[in-house]
Structure 1
């Protein structure tokens, strides 16, 4: 996971304090003050973590994350907010938030949580020029994220955990919404096209991603 952060905070003084603290710990921080700018920033590049305040101009941090999750953006997200009611906290996690920090807080506490989140995602499986992070289901090709649909994401997880081993066809069928031999062939072809992986068919047995 890249050590880059998108920080959405409309309190300018707090935003600059957090940005400075994170940058002192070698994080690259993109700072925005409203929901629309956060949307634009998230489309311009990929980030390792989002830090979103909830009550911000244009759209709330919760609405923002909901839109990003609908767009299949799985970037880990920490909410920071003065809202302490259970409904707000519950909604923040329901839309896909990973952590929630109530204001006021010590800036160092946010840094501790960010460091922990990045540490969780450092475990990766590397294969040739690909790097796969099982915890976040993210695949990178030469440090650029590869966009995978739900089926391809499932296939990727299976093959990256079974490099050099033949995977039974029935296991791969579990990745499909309407399993059939024809559908599996189509799904595998799309997956190979997206990742440039050479997956071989072992006739009558299954498929294998051979060791590099």
Structure 2
């Protein structure tokens, strides 16, 4: 899940980012209202964490302009102010939730997950390919009756592949959604992590869940019923 955090306090923003990444979120930061407005308008996020007191444009103004552009991404407002009027203003402008600083990180995570559940009730509670099952809410993965242990990055990669099962995904698409929209490292990091996943979810069970498409990227397939594809594939 991709989260945009618009917060001008750099230390707080970095703390939020690290905490969310440990929970499996892909996080992009913006430190001014103008930067946040541009990112939220031009890119797709699952949820936005938006501070009210921002340089250049306030969080209120960012939210107002986003809703005027019909950007319906859920927004959780952050503020150091604790008052009914501030909360009412945020909600009237189109905010979906409101959290006052200082806040518990546990509460922030719970609020974000609640927003995601409300916005995407059509998404299945469990994601699967054959007997490989991922539970996004409980953050568990199993192959049949065997529980698997994945790192946060491996979990995020597997979740993204499962949510797009059967579709060809390029390395760039995977990097933007599992790493970061501004990741500028080598693309072969995707190959490395696909290799890690295969060793955990396929190799011990004699299965092939992640198909390599030469010159394209990867595709998650159902190991119990793989279709024939015209494109050439390899296990590497």
Fold agreement, TM-score > 0.5: yes
Q: For 2:57 and 2:89, how far apart are their aligned partners in 1?
A: 15
Q: Is residue 90 of structure 1 aligned with residue 92 of structure 2?
A: no
Q: For 2:102 and 2:36, how far apart are their aligned partners in 1?
A: 22
2:79 maps to which residue?
81
Cα distance, 1:112 vs structure 2: 1.2
Q: Relative to structure 1, is the Cα distance of residues 24 and 125 closer, same or farther in structure 2, using a 3 angstrom cutoff?
A: closer
Q: For 2:96 and 2:20, how far apart are their aligned partners in 1?
A: 19
- Give runs of aligned pairs for residues 10-29 of structure 1, distance below 5 A: 10-29=8-27
Indicate which of 54, 57, 61 corresponds to 1:63: 61
Q: For 1:54 and 1:115, how far apart are their aligned partners in 2?
A: 21
Q: Relative to structure 1, is the Cα distance of residues 59 and 23 closer, same or farther in structure 2, using a 3 angstrom cutoff?
A: same
Q: Relative to structure 1, is the Cα distance of residues 123 and 61 closer, same or farther in structure 2, using a 3 angstrom cutoff?
A: same
1:30 maps to which residue?
28
Query: 2:96–2:115: 8 Å Cα contact kept in structure 1?
Result: no
Indicate which of 97, 100, 108 corresponds to 1:99: 97
- Give runs of aligned pairs for residues 154-165 of structure 1, distance below 5 A: none
Report the number of matched residues.
127
Cα distance, 1:104 vs structure 2: 0.7
Q: What root-mean-square deviation, in Å, do the aligned CA atoms of Structure 1 and Structure 2 show?
A: 2.1
Q: For 2:68 and 2:49, how far apart are their aligned partners in 1?
A: 18
- Give runs of aligned pairs for residues 163-182 of structure 1, distance below 5 A: none
Cα distance, 1:87 vs structure 2: 1.6
Q: For 1:74 and 1:40, how far apart are their aligned partners in 2?
A: 15
Cα distance, 1:120 vs structure 2: 2.3
Query: 2:41–2:71: 8 Å Cα contact kept in structure 1?
Result: no
Q: What secondary structure sits across from 2:121 in the alignment?
A: coil
Cα distance, 1:34 vs structure 2: 0.4
Q: For 1:51 and 1:58, how far apart are their aligned partners in 2?
A: 17
1:46 maps to which residue?
44
Runs (5+) with no aligned partner, structure 1: 127-141, 144-212
